[in-house]
Structure 1
Amino acid sequence: MAPTSPPPPTWATLGRATVLTLTPHLLPRDHSVISKRALAVTDAQKVTLGVIAAYVVGIAILWNVPYIRWILWPFKMLVIAFHEFGHAITCVLTGGKVKSISLDPREGGVTHMQGGRSGLTLPAGYLGSSLIGALLTFAGFNINASKVASIVIGVAFLMTVWWGRRDWLTVGTVAAAVGLLVGCWFIRGAEALRFVVLFIGVMSSLYSVWDICDDLILRKVNSSDASVFAKRYGGSSQCWGVIWSVISLCFMAAGIVAGIAAFPQSAEQQREDAQKFIPTRF
């Protein structure tokens, strides 16, 4: 007996609406094909994920080993600038006013604010820096996205310098960071910029988690954003610290997954695309 072909789709008219009826033979057997393809990891993305893993291990080692931990000091100060920017921009967005921002050489910072909603401004330091880290990690999967991210960072830094213009360490940290980003634009068509943006993103994401753990779980520092939040809104500083740490890790994971889904281009494709968007050669 000759094989029979599946029946063709049939049309039915309901009032003014025309409905197409498909037979089971015409329906896709695997409804998750599209989602699986969207999250398929390319060779270039495998390299990026390997770099992220190396960054995590390297930062963890440098963070805890005496003396050589000072290698991370410039980047710690940069992430603290993100932390204080999170406080400041949230204060402005909630109707407050930022008086000043200052960074401490002993890896601290303070933002003097007036007004705003403290329920949002207090966690905005940790969560803001971790969100920035997640966005930078996302951008670090692609050269052009890293270019855009560096421009956005530059604008945020200008705002930070304006608020912290009386503090030499704030100005110096921001100026050094801007100089590093600008310089990377001219290394291999800005390919180096991608890995610098990726490092800053991973550092910013992890700093929030480790700083919360150091201050609230290991050293139990009384004066912190979480302790002030707990006094005003209830709960314990350790509890809020754990919650904010989990949210920070979720931000980082989301940035990685989004980067895999959004940037499937090969390394060669990225280099070609980079020469069409604000091209730079050295």
Structure 2
Amino acid sequence: MSHKTLKTMFFISFLLFFVTLWEHSFMGYLKDLVVLFHEICHAIATVLTGGVVERVSIHNNESGETIANPGKLKAAFVFVVSAGYIGSSVLGGLILYRGFSGKYEKQTLSILGILLLFATFQFSKSGNLAYSTGIVWGAIFLVIGVINRSASAMILVSLGTLISMYSVYDLLDFTGNIHSTDAGIFAYWLLKIPTSKGKPPSSVILLSYFIATIWSVISICILYLTLKKTFREDTSEILPELPVDRFPGEVTPEIAEWFISRGLDLNGKPLPQELISEFKNEG
């Protein structure tokens, strides 16, 4: 069985596992982790654009929020508000790729654990669900990353699959209260309409769906490109370059003629019939 087939089966197995047990209670711990990564992407985007993050928090209903003051440039807000879903797609794809790479799995998981711990200490407050989630999972990643390579690879693949799936699956939330999602926040900002708890204007809803569609397409494209690169066969491993056999010793005209007269090359392999006929005609 080829490496490509094994990778595909492995990915599909994790995907079916998560989809089947998505509503199970123990999946809540994994959902909290994925939501935390989503919010951390917002926070990192804020810092990269010169903004200030006040706090990152997540809730038991699979929601979260990042309270931040983005940079002064208008493009900063666009980057920050889009970073949740787009950033999660990129992160999930990168983790999935590293899990399947067969190299540095322990180091990758350890670094991920350290970064998660750092982001948790930096952006969340003690006592918040985001704080406890980040500390526990960050410590788990760090310990396993130090101890076991196989377990590290399995965690990277499963986590990458989960984040990638969630970044697409969670877009279904857009069919509900879309004005309360990141797309809705973006729509309010673009239309320069103050947010309110009442019924949103139809213009906000329509623009929110348009934004959500764009994010969906981008997220799916990122996932597709990641899977394409991850599952691509490495032909250099399957078909290694073989050494070229050469005739031992000096090849004299008599030796060459002897081989050719018998329809063989200098390695004793049959020559093409056209080449044999050409030699006979010249002779």
TM superposition score normalised by structure 1: 0.70
Specify which structure has the higher proportion of helix: 2
Whole-angstrom distance in 2 between the partners of 1:140 and 1:128: 18
CA positional deviation for 1:170: 1.6
Whole-angstrom distance in 1 between the partners of 2:145 and 2:110: 11
Specify which structure has the higher proportion of strand: 1
Q: Return 5+ residue gaps in structure 2 as ranges.
A: 192-205, 238-283
Q: How does 1:256-267 map to 2 (within 5 A)?
A: 256-261=227-232
Residue by residue over 1:55-85, the C-alpha shift from the partner in whole angstroms, topping out at 9 and shown as x without a partner, is 212222222x4xxx22211111111111111
Q: How does 1:148-227 map to 2 (within 5 A)?
A: 148-157=107-116, 158-185=118-145, 189-213=148-172, 215-217=173-175, 219-227=176-184
- Amino acid corresponding to residue 169 of structure 2 in structure 1: W
Residue by residue over 1:179-229, the C-alpha shift from the partner in whole angstroms, topping out at 9 and shown as x without a partner, is 332343366x4112111111111111111111111x212x23431110011
Bigger Cα Rg: 2
Whole-angstrom distance in 1 between the partners of 2:85 and 2:7: 25
Contact 1:161/1:170, CA 8 A, preserved across alignment = no
Are 1:250 and 2:221 counterparts?
Answer: yes
For 1:50, what is the secondary structure of its paired residue?
helix
Are 1:107 and 2:67 counterparts?
Answer: no
Are 1:77 and 2:77 counterparts?
Answer: no
CA positional deviation for 1:263: 6.7
Are 1:140 and 2:99 counterparts?
Answer: yes
Contact 2:56/2:66, CA 8 A, preserved across alignment = yes
Contact 1:101/1:163, CA 8 A, preserved across alignment = yes
Alignment root-mean-square deviation, CA: 2.3
Contact 2:3/2:233, CA 8 A, preserved across alignment = no
Whole-angstrom distance in 1 between the partners of 2:63 and 2:164: 17
Residue 48 (structure 1) aligns with: 7
Whole-angstrom distance in 2 between the partners of 1:222 and 1:51: 37
For 1:91, what is the secondary structure of its paired residue?
helix
Contact 1:45/1:264, CA 8 A, preserved across alignment = no
In structure 2, relative to structure 1, the CA distance for the partners of 1:93 and 1:182 (3 Å cut) is closer
Contact 2:56/2:65, CA 8 A, preserved across alignment = yes
Contact 1:143/1:193, CA 8 A, preserved across alignment = no
CA positional deviation for 1:230: 1.5
Number of aligned positions between the proteins? 218
Whole-angstrom distance in 2 between the partners of 1:137 and 1:145: 13
Whole-angstrom distance in 1 between the partners of 2:146 and 2:77: 42
Contact 1:45/1:141, CA 8 A, preserved across alignment = no
Contact 1:142/1:263, CA 8 A, preserved across alignment = no
Residue 240 (structure 1) aligns with: 211
Residue 274 (structure 1) aligns with: none
- Amino acid corresponding to residue 249 of structure 1 in structure 2: I
Tell which has more relative contact order, 1 or 2 (C-alpha 8 A, sep 6+).
1
Contact 1:102/1:167, CA 8 A, preserved across alignment = no
In structure 2, relative to structure 1, the CA distance for the partners of 1:163 and 1:265 (3 Å cut) is farther
Are 1:118 and 2:77 counterparts?
Answer: yes
Residue 230 (structure 1) aligns with: 187
Q: How does 1:7-18 map to 2 (within 5 A)?
A: none
- Select between 177-186 and 160-169 the one with higher mean Cα deviation: 177-186
Whole-angstrom distance in 2 between the partners of 1:146 and 1:263: 19
Contact 2:41/2:87, CA 8 A, preserved across alignment = yes
Whole-angstrom distance in 2 between the partners of 1:167 and 1:263: 47
Residue 269 (structure 1) aligns with: none
- Amino acid corresponding to residue 51 of structure 1 in structure 2: F
CA positional deviation for 1:167: 4.0
Whole-angstrom distance in 1 between the partners of 2:137 and 2:79: 27
CA positional deviation for 1:43: 2.6
In structure 2, relative to structure 1, the CA distance for the partners of 1:181 and 1:154 (3 Å cut) is closer
- Select between 85-94 and 43-52 the one with higher mean Cα deviation: 43-52
- Select between 163-172 and 76-85 the one with higher mean Cα deviation: 163-172
Q: Percent identity?
A: 27
Q: Return 5+ residue gaps in structure 1 as ranges.
A: 1-41, 267-282
TM superposition score normalised by structure 2: 0.70
CA positional deviation for 1:261: 4.5
